[in-house]
Chain A
Amino acid sequence: MSRQRLTVVLSQAQGKNPGRRALEESIAAALIMEPGLDVSIVPYLYDLDAEHTGRLFLESVQGDMVVLAWMFPRAAFWLLDRDGIKGHYGDNQIAPPTEADEDEDGEPEPPKGIGAVNVAKRWIYCLDLRDHGNYDIYIQEVRRIAAECRERRAAGNGQTTMVELGLPAPQPQPSFASDQLLKQPERRWYPVIDYSRCTNCMECLDFCLFGVYGVDNLDRLIVENQDSCKRGCPACSRVCPEQAIMFPDYKTPAIAGAPVGNISGLKIDLSKLFGGGDAMAMAAQERDRELVADGRQAVGMSVGIPKRQADKTQEPKDDLDKLMDALDELEI
């Protein structure tokens, strides 16, 4: 029965980079032969709109899922959450080969954020295809995850009253034509919110003058009009005091959803030293550029700049540990 199977979704890279395509194909070819897995390929996750077959497919998936995509796992996970494809965050052991277990107590600091709502009782594992060029590492990790999911189900089944008699009931499997599944979507640009960090402070809503943000009927902050967002502009992400806003395609890792507290492989961000200066000023500047491009008046720092952040450090918190490590290596 399909609930017992693990769905593996490969999200393609944008563009036609042959190296990336080759990695995707090697992974797909290897996994398709694995028992207990359902493997599907969809276009770049971030670009899928609500009508896209790939998105409908993702929504139809029951049970545990592994998503391999060309973005940070945190970005992929909350992107899916935003699309209503919800579950618990499954940790992978791929990204930091030396730092697999957090050295403190195995748990990251308790989430400050308001958390996701209506989380389904299943796990979603997101793997970043940029981590390794070798497909075998991904195959091994998917196998590990498959085993982990089996164990979890086995443990869970002991407690529940779910009984399976005889043959599994036929699952109504929606079918998706592969040409529809792989239809290349338009490029999109919008913020993705990490609700494990978002405290609902609404500073982004005050700051963005393009109406991207709103609240839902529970008064939770949401990205309401995602396609009103201005391509390339990450300003709200700089304003967010919790670094909860991600733009998966942005070049700066802290904005693109780099992992929190996971340090290996990540780098010290020197933007502040090299003239990045004040994140608020930068955000205001970026917003002004978009306002002017829209034929509106630049507002500078006069609108939506939170006062209480006036003397706050601009260095993203994610970077602190990395910075410390980097310093040791610098021997300065």
Chain B
Amino acid sequence: MPDDQTFLMGKFPAVLPGGLLYARNHMWCRECENGRARFGFTSYAVRLMQDVYFLDWQVSPGDRVELLQQIGHIETSKAVSDLFAPLAGTLIAFNPELLKDPSGINVDGYGEGWLFDMECDGASLWTVDEYEQFLSDNWEKTQRLIKGKINTED
């Protein structure tokens, strides 16, 4: 199993566990048996969003979703975002606890704060090193995007 990685967002260290796989929309994936996998937000994503206030899903358990199909919406103290499927597959379950209180995402993002389970093929997901590389490669761009300067080039 690869070592854990830490990606520095300015001063904030985003911890990336080595035993997980990662999707480019900043979700982690823990593979379970029989083709099922559990997904949640990486600490990188949680740091950008900060305290989660509201989480809403637009698809139901059992629904088939396409890669990057919009599946939900999140509102936090700093951000809003639509949420998208990290892979094509079938949604099995959403974390019921988060629907009562989404702050579990902040408390234990890699554990109790998981988002949903899917039946999917995780072959295209990244290892922690690949994800860390992706974050490094895009950090400048992300900051620019956040600063609203992305339209200067790109």
Chain A positions within 8 Å of B, measured between CB atoms, are 251-253, 267-277, 282, 285, 311-313, 315, 319-321, 323-324, 326-327, 329-332
Q: Is the CB of B80 within 8 A of A267?
A: yes
B82 within 8 A of A: yes
Q: Is the CB of A267 within 8 A of B82?
A: no
Q: Which residue of B lies closest to A321 (CB)?
A: B148
Q: Which residues of B contact A270 (CB under 8 A)?
A: 45, 48-49, 79-81
4 cross-chain pairs, A with B, having the tightest CB-CB distances, nearest first: A320-B148, A275-B25, A275-B84, A332-B10
Q: Is the CB of B79 within 8 A of A269?
A: yes
B145 vs chain A, min Cβ distance (A): 7
Known: A270-B48, A273-B48. Contact between A315 and B78, CB under 8 A? Answer: no
How many residues does chain B have at the interface if contact means C-beta atoms less than 8 Å apart?
37
B36 within 8 A of A: no
Interface 0/1 of B134-145, CB less than 8 Å to A: 000000001101
Alpha-carbon distance between A285 and B82 when the two chains are bound, in angstroms: 15
Q: Is the CB of B10 within 8 A of A274?
A: no
Q: Which residues of A contact B1 (CB under 8 A)?
A: none
Alpha-carbon distance between A327 and B48 when the two chains are bound, in angstroms: 9
Known: A253-B80, A275-B86, A313-B154. Contact between A327 and B146, CB under 8 A? Answer: yes
Quick one: which of A251, A253, A272, A275 has the most chain B CB within 10 A?
A275
Q: Which residues of B contact A285 (CB under 8 A)?
A: 69
A233 vs chain B, min Cβ distance (A): 11
Alpha-carbon distance between A267 and B76 when the two chains are bound, in angstroms: 8
Q: Which residues of A contact B49 (CB under 8 A)?
A: 270
Known: A274-B84, A313-B151, A315-B150. Contact between A331 and B10, CB under 8 A? Answer: yes
Alpha-carbon distance between A273 and B134 when the two chains are bound, in angstroms: 12
Q: Which residues of A contact B146 (CB under 8 A)?
A: 268, 323, 326-327, 330, 332
B15 within 8 A of A: no
Interface 0/1 of B3-35, CB less than 8 Å to A: 000000111100000000000111000000000
Q: Is the CB of B80 within 8 A of A273?
A: no
Q: Which residues of A contact B68 (CB under 8 A)?
A: 275, 277
A327 vs chain B, min Cβ distance (A): 5
Q: Which residues of A contact B86 (CB under 8 A)?
A: 275
B129 within 8 A of A: no
B100 within 8 A of A: no
Q: Is the CB of B80 within 8 A of A323?
A: no
B93 within 8 A of A: no
Alpha-carbon distance between A327 and B144 when the two chains are bound, in angstroms: 10
Quick one: which of A251, A252, A274, A311 has the most chain B CB within 10 A?
A274
Q: Which residues of A contact B82 (CB under 8 A)?
A: 251-252, 271, 274, 276
Interface 0/1 of B33-54, CB less than 8 Å to A: 0000000000001011110000
Alpha-carbon distance between A311 and B47 when the two chains are bound, in angstroms: 29
Q: Which residues of B contact A324 (CB under 8 A)?
A: 147-148
B149 vs chain A, min Cβ distance (A): 8
A279 vs chain B, min Cβ distance (A): 11
Alpha-carbon distance between A320 and B81 when the two chains are bound, in angstroms: 15
Quick one: which of A312, A313, A324 has the most chain B CB within 10 A?
A313
Which of B69, B75, B78 meets A329, CB within 8 Å? Answer: B78
Q: Which residues of B contact A330 (CB under 8 A)?
A: 10, 47-48, 50, 78, 146
Q: Which residue of B lies closest to A320 (CB)?
A: B148
Q: Is the CB of B81 within 8 A of A274?
A: yes
Alpha-carbon distance between A273 and B135 when the two chains are bound, in angstroms: 11
Q: Which residue of A lies closest to B44 (CB)?
A: A273
Alpha-carbon distance between A134 and B69 when the two chains are bound, in angstroms: 38
B88 within 8 A of A: no
Show 24 residue pairs from A and B whose CB-CB distance is below 8 angstroms, ordered by the A residue: A267-B75, A268-B80, A268-B146, A269-B80, A269-B81, A270-B45, A270-B49, A271-B80, A272-B145, A273-B45, A273-B142, A274-B81, A274-B84, A276-B81, A276-B82, A282-B70, A315-B145, A327-B146, A330-B48, A330-B50, A330-B146, A331-B10, A331-B11, A332-B11
